[in-house]
Structure 1
């Protein structure tokens, strides 16, 4: 009888392992190419948007001078007597943003401190998702809530126009609270427990520890959350479109109707202005200003987060 060799051939094993490794390498390369393609789509889309915005904006400035756009104080591009001063739109945008942040910063930061330092783990596990649910409410709902509930309520105490900056700003603040609170909470939780224990060891109270140790240590993340909240407020559309009105004014009176950059863009993009007309090009000119403002805020937020980031061993 022929002897049966049950041992595997070393050459065969080596060949199989090489084939398996080659197959895995091919799979890895395919996945890498697919992931690169997905990332490239995002980058190319961004560049495409930027190119289109500034191409149309360049066409706008062929007909309207920089002085008319940046030095005039009236914005009436749709009227017979045209003015193209963008400052009333910028004023309305930052007025509602200031009101929103006056609400979002204390609410968001207070909720972050409570969930991090005071709430029991089970309570925090319930409250944090509940707070973040506010970010999932459609902005059009916030707008109509401000118009139909907040404004009539406030008019019982202070004189307000039907459309006003105050109601829109207050609802934007509620909407932005999860953004400020969630990022601030992560920044506060990142502060090592040893810093808190060291503060307690020298006799500092819990409240003093929070304000003198924890918050300064988490300052970069907190500031970044605030700037991102400002960026979100500047880019908000439906809430201000519904609740703040469409009257561009250079005013600081929050009781009056105003118009923001995003509200004007929503108004002009309704289809009444023919493509290629000067009215149509104002959409891109205002969009370019909004893009620069938002980009600047994001760059500042990124710089602050990296410049003042605390590193612990």
Structure 2
């Protein structure tokens, strides 16, 4: 049974349980809701929760645990001869999973029967030919053990889905019976439902933490897999980025320093544009602008935040780049030959800075407005002018929040991709010249995972190592900002 149908059935049973619970509560009280401990809706909600929570809880846990169990079972049947030099069982299993997906697609397309897809005795040549005819050949190293492992993977996945369906439906039926039987006039349904809702709210609040943990673990595991195939010293201290998909990474140079430098350089240029303009805009809107001007100017400024980054990238490629070439290029207005093409650090940095202006401006404006008016009045009472009050009272009091706004803009700049691809080019180099093309970590993550690459190679796994490097870099920025915030808060609390 498809998962969507299982979800619909559970929801239908829960709706039925709500109606039955509410109806039973009223009937047990002789139709007078005043004889019930709780409102009738609480009795229905109690039955609904006892159906939904166990059923969906089992479903979610099953979907999370089943892949690990199947991977362990299937990996045990793969012979050691399939684990080539420079590879690992994890990388072989990734090929097995992709082959299993290809087999399922071939069955869906009618290229083979479902019996043949799970038959471990199927002829290898005929089987691979059917996959090829269906356009489902996913690797050039497809071997008979990989085919057999993929068939077993699909077989166990189908069996697990069947068992999960049965267990979830039994849990839903059991929850319906449980909630229905305990529906009595004296039952404290409101207390139970409110406690259940509280538990659900706590679980919802925990999703962010669990998501972060999941992201970090996925990065860590794949990064470790990468460093088993490629030397960590060469990665962190290499000054050349030249991936090659020949020989499973044997001829590749995967030094991250040029990418980190490009990321930081472009981000610095962007922040040099965004911070002054955004901060000055926030000061004007919060301290000088009339309510009418503010009502028009602030929404107009925040429109920049809603423009897709691909539009910014096209603006950099078609407008800003040629404009800079006409000024700083050969035959330009200044008569210099500094910028040879439209794609350069300066191009991407300027456009990215424009994109970051509303991040700095809007957040800083809200933070400055949050400074108590009593502090301004006290400054005016001591004879300070408006500009002196802003410089010596308002901005120092709002500094922790402004630092947070700048940090958000910096994190946004570090993670930007499309503007860099279209505005800065794809050259990985170490240079101080802002008129040269460079690239960033995020742009290379996209390029490494684009196309028909061999996922078992370092050139594909390096994307996770790059992502982990970016994560550590952003975490470091957060720690620095937290230190600054705490230092200045001690002075103004």
* TM-score by shorter chain over 0.5: yes
1:259 pairs with one of 428, 439, 452: 439
* Residue 52, structure 1, aligned to residue 71, structure 2: no
Tell me the residue number matched to 1:129.
299
Partners of 1:195 and 1:213 within 8 A in 2? yes
CA distance in 1, matches of 2:226, 2:211: 23
Tell me the residue number matched to 2:347.
167
**How many residues are treated as equivalent by the alignment?**
301
Greater alpha carbon shift after TM alignment, 75-84 vs 106-115: 75-84
Tell me the residue number matched to 1:29.
195
CA distance in 1, matches of 2:421, 2:191: 53
Partners of 1:100 and 1:171 within 8 A in 2? yes
Q: Where does 1:43-122 land on structure 2 (aligned, <5 Å)? A: 43-78=209-244, 81-122=251-292
Q: Where does 1:163-202 land on structure 2 (aligned, <5 Å)? A: 163-202=343-382
Note the residue ranges of structure 1 that are not aligned, 5 or more in a row.
Answer: 1-11
Greater alpha carbon shift after TM alignment, 255-264 vs 301-310: 301-310
1:268 pairs with one of 443, 448, 452: 448
Q: Bigger relative contact order, structure 1 or 2, given CA contacts below 8 A and separation 6+? A: 1
Report the CA distance between 1:308 and its aligned residue.
2.6
Q: Where does 1:145-160 land on structure 2 (aligned, <5 Å)? A: 145-159=315-329, 160=339
Tell me the residue number matched to 1:3.
none
Compute the RMSD of aligned alpha carbons.
Answer: 2.3
Runs of 4+ in 1 over 4 A off after TM superposition: 12-16, 310-313
Tell me the residue number matched to 2:397.
217
Q: Deviations over 1:199-255 (max 9, x none)?
A: 222222111111121111111111121122111111111110111111100111111
Tell me the residue number matched to 1:241.
421
TM-score calculated relative to the size of structure 2: 0.58
Greater alpha carbon shift after TM alignment, 301-310 vs 55-64: 301-310
Tell me the residue number matched to 2:118.
none
Tell me the residue number matched to 2:411.
231
CA distance in 2, matches of 1:111, 1:27: 49
Tell me the residue number matched to 2:458.
278
The change in CA–CA distance for 1:287 and 1:52 in structure 2 (over 3 A counts) is: same
CA distance in 2, matches of 1:224, 1:107: 17
CA distance in 2, matches of 1:195, 1:41: 40
The change in CA–CA distance for 1:13 and 1:144 in structure 2 (over 3 A counts) is: closer
CA distance in 1, matches of 2:193, 2:303: 39
Tell me the residue number matched to 1:19.
38
Q: Deviations over 1:18-57 (max 9, x none)?
A: 4349443333223223323333333332222211111111
CA distance in 2, matches of 1:301, 1:60: 31
Q: Deviations over 1:155-178 (max 9, x none)?
A: 111122231111101111011111
**Structure with bigger gyration radius:** 2
CA distance in 1, matches of 2:348, 2:291: 35
Q: Deviations over 1:113-165 (max 9, x none)?
A: 01110111232122222211211110011011001000111111112223111
SS for the counterpart of 2:191 is: helix
Note the residue ranges of structure 2 that are not aligned, 5 or more in a row.
Answer: 1-31, 43-187, 330-338
CA distance in 1, matches of 2:282, 2:451: 43
Partners of 2:397 and 2:492 within 8 A in 1? no
Tell me the residue number matched to 1:4.
none
SS for the counterpart of 1:295 is: helix
TM-score calculated relative to the size of structure 1: 0.89
The change in CA–CA distance for 1:256 and 1:13 in structure 2 (over 3 A counts) is: closer
The change in CA–CA distance for 1:312 and 1:169 in structure 2 (over 3 A counts) is: closer
